[in-house]
Amino acid sequence: MTKQRNLKKHFEAILGREIEAPEPGDVVLRDRIASYTAAEGSITSREIGTTGDSTKACSAANLLDVSGVARTGEDGTAEFMLSEFFCEFLGKNLPSFQFPVNFVATPRSLTPVFVTGLARPTSGRNDVRIRVAAWDASGAAAPNTSLDWRCRVPYEEFIG
């Protein structure tokens, strides 16, 4: 096997999947890890009064929708920041991330793997911390599990 093929196999082992080279034997050191959209949307709130009655209220909101790939470590867990998966913020102003944060993850596996996740704005609300854990069917940690994930979070822009 040539040196270039060995290098390609090495990078595939790191990424946990096959990579496509533009020409046979060439290895490209760029891996697409995410896509994102920032758009106007709506937030629905439930207001509960002192009498126990509730009403629905709707308001305009900015929404950031990010999807990406990740991989658990040797202990079956991964932790990352949402900002690692999108480029300079679109409005040039700093975001203030709000609730609700919606996060889902799907393991890339042909064998049964279970994944749990928690996504919350950081204490300064300028990022979202995401934590995931993966287990196999017997309940043991599932190390090196590749995941596809998606996170949608409302934000407000402010000049920092």
Q: What b/e sequence results for 45-81 when a residue is b if at least 16 CB atoms lie within 10 Å of its CB, and e otherwise?
A: eeeeeeeeeeeeeeeeebbbbbbbbbbbeeebbbeee
Q: What is the pLDDT of residue 1?
A: 47
Q: What is the pLDDT of residue 134?
A: 98
CA angle 122, 124, 128 (to 5 degrees): 30
CA angle 48, 50, 51 (to 5 degrees): 95
Residue type, 140: A
List per-residue pLDDT tens for the chain, 160 residues long. Answer: 455 567 777 777 777 777 765 555 565 566 788 999 999 999 998 888 777 778 888 999 999 999 999 999 999 999 999 999 998 665 566 789 999 999 999 999 999 999 999 999 999 999 999 999 999 999 999 999 999 999 999 999 866 5
Which strand (E) or helix (H) includes residue 155? strand 146-158
Specify the residue for token string 């920092």.
160
Q: What is the pLDDT of residue 17?
A: 74
Q: What is the pLDDT of residue 20?
A: 67
Prediction pTM value? 0.77
